[in-house]
Amino acid sequence: MAVTICQGLGFVVSLIGIAGIIAATCMDQWSTQDLYNNPVTAVFNYQGLWRSCVRDSSGFTECRGYFTLLGLPAMLQAVRALMIVGIVLGAIGLLVSIFALKCIRIGSMEDSAKANMTLTSGIMFIVSGLCAIAGVSVFANMLVTNFWMSTANMYSSMGGMVQTIQTRYTFGAALFVGWVAGGLTLVGGVMMCIACRGLAPEETNYKAVSYHASGHSVAYKPGGFKASTGFGSNTKNKKIYDGGAHTEDEVQSYPSKHDYV
């Protein structure tokens, strides 16, 4: 029961995480204009992975896509690739995990096959979450670098007077959505991997029984006697005396002097 709950919960968490990664990739608010010390507030700029938008004070928004591929920064293209890889791996992981759910029976699928599929989907979810977190983090690092470079260019060396006004960008809502979604996908993958251990059938250990044939030869030992043990109910204890070896049945078969009294 606990394995089923863990597997189902991991599937739901991963599903929410993959949906969040898709939403973050499609959002336009990856970077938003920093309005601090900006006298122009009638126009608000924000950018995404696929297009840049401008919104004026009246609420009208105009977006323009990036109609070039080679002209884009290499870091932006790397972020695109990481997010797309995360979405593809997450989608394949969801498809595999649906058939791996313990509550769903497909033909005569064994538990070992479901365990392998659960482990595979869990690994895919983990890699998908790592790709999303890495992509968002790379974009955030690029924003921080450009922000401080723009800030340094805004001030001259003469008394810190502002000479030019440059548009600076800060973190947008899509970055936080991507971080949370990547974390959820990663947690869901870990839960699927944990559930895999409970789905795997236990190995049956057969205890080997060794058979030892009872020997007929008896070793002589001077002084005292020795009782030997063996396997089975037909094994007879043997006594070793100083001068010969006799079994208990042989000792009892010879009459003693007390039998004639």
List of domains in the chain: 1-30+69-154+167-199 (1.20.140.150)
Q: pLDDT tens digit string along 62-83?
A: 888 888 878 888 899 999 999 9
- How crowded is residue 175: how many other Cβ atoms within 10 Å of its Cβ? 22
Q: What is the pTM of this model?
A: 0.69
Q: pLDDT tens digit string along 1-26?
A: 687 888 889 999 999 999 999 999 99
Q: What distance, in Å, lies between the first and last C-alpha atoms of the chain?
A: 78
| pLDDT reported for residue 37 | 65
User: Cα separation of 147 and 261, whole Å?
Assistant: 121
For residue 189, give both structure tokens.
């993958």
Q: Where are the alpha helices (DSSP H) in 101-110?
A: none
Q: pLDDT tens digit string along 214-228?
A: 555 445 455 544 444
Q: How far is CA 97 from CA 13, 15, 75, 184, 240, in A?
A: 12, 10, 32, 16, 71
Length of the chain, please?
Answer: 261
